[in-house]
Structure 1
Amino acid sequence: MQMTMEARLRKLLEAVEMMHQREDGSPFQTRVFRACQHLFPESCSSLELWDRQTGTLTAAYGVDYEPAGLEERLKRIGEVVQRDHPGFPIIAAGSNELMRLSELTTLREFQKTELYDIGFKPLDIRHQVVTPVQSATQLGGVTFNRGGSRDFAEEDLEIIRLFSRQVVIAHQNDRVLSRTLEQQPQISSLDHTPLRRAGLTRRESEVFAWMMEGKRDREIATILGISYRTVTNHVHAILRKLGVETRTAATRAMPKD
């Protein structure tokens, strides 16, 4: 039965919540797969991210290939995607636009590639939508894949387009929070007493500690789980209480014991 747009939007909101949910400690790719499966249960998905400097691939495939030779198959897929997938050079050029494979090449042409033989043919995948994922350090995408004669319809694309924006945000937040975990021991050991004596509240002291680490307001909001506007208000209060006008001056004016 055809889903109404209201039902689709409800599933979208539920999928977005799954992707942003970090409480159970699930890695980014696991949360993405969980969200993709909820959004399109009849499809399978994949996530591939290349490091811009080293070319190292981080990939995860939510597809049911035969266990025999699985590791070698997935490794080879990661090697040939850049060469065989018509969407890769478009993403590499900086595009953030959703791509439907059928709009980039014909099935007959794509069947001539090694990527089709080892990645698509074993699962009879005929249709794919690619959601680019771009950051300062990585590029790649999340894909939705399905077989059969029916390509992804325009209403499917609209839902995926809305979802793709949240994929990028979730990825950016994951990168911020991953780096934060590495710095957390240093921040936790910081003595906030001088800051409290200067009139800063406990939360302002936490914000100031991350300011000293070079974090921007949006990153601090993600780290502390508060809104961007709340962080900017705290920053304004910190500057006022320390009698300075800039973040750099605030760092230099940090109260000493």
Structure 2
Amino acid sequence: MNDAVRAIILVVDDAPDSLRFLTDALESESYGVRIARDGETALASLRAELPDLVLMDAVMPGIDGFETTRRIKADPALSRVPVIFMTGLSDTENVLDGLAAGGVDYVKKPIVLAELLARLRVHLGNARIAAGAQGALDASNRPLMALDATGRVLWTTPRSADILKQRFGAGAGDQLAPALAGQLLRLIDGEARVRHEFAGGRVEFAAVATTAEERHYRVTETLEGAEERLLAQRHALTEREAEVLLWISRGKANREISEILGISPRTVNKHLEQIFEKMGIENRASAAAAAVKTLSQ
């Protein structure tokens, strides 16, 4: 028995004959089947327990399949479930409406069972791959998030969720403040970061990837003194040596560092000699490179 036969399919259709045919056909292939005869019932069923995939009739009384799917995709708790439309509508416009609403595919009525089963296998496999990738990110606790083209948060990993909630009052499904969203959407992968200062620290956003539907960002929170503590711990430095090394990593000259820290340039130089000895390096360029590497990790 392969993984697909253990999938749960929610079939949404107002026609009893269609429901009966699909239920019998899917159960004969060892799929678990749940049914809903309208959009409201489908949404309630999804919120009670997520299926692995939804087969959605396009035309139904009340909330039609297009609107039901838009509501599914607008809810972060439901949006990852793939939706395949079933439609007797063959016009290209209707097909595009289904895809625009968030459907991953469509099949025409009357249903050709072999075609439907093939499409189920493909989309269930893709959904499992996506879920596995998201699970790996969550487990690694990397501070990542994704936005859509309007600045709405599509998903977050646990660490970035904490930062967004605490610093911006936002979470998955929420729209970021227009000013911040605009800055982030203008970021290009690997280029400058967006920095948000707050009392006692800052949050930085860096663009890491862009797809047709999602823009991914690394979210980094730095609390006041955290970088100095990390450098001191990682390289066995004193507090003052760590402060000097931090400013070296930011490209500051000895005289600038002396003004920032309120010590003489000669004292800065003495600290540098100790830093070089403890880190086993010979010059400030190497020290700066090592500090940047430590902080980036």
Instruction: Give the TM-score of the pair, scaled to structure 1.
Output: 0.26
Structure (1/2) with the larger strand percentage: 2
Instruction: Give the TM-score of the pair, scaled to structure 2.
Output: 0.23
Which of the pair has more CA radius of gyration? 2
Q: Which structure carries more relative contact order (alpha carbon 8 Å, separation 6+)?
A: 1
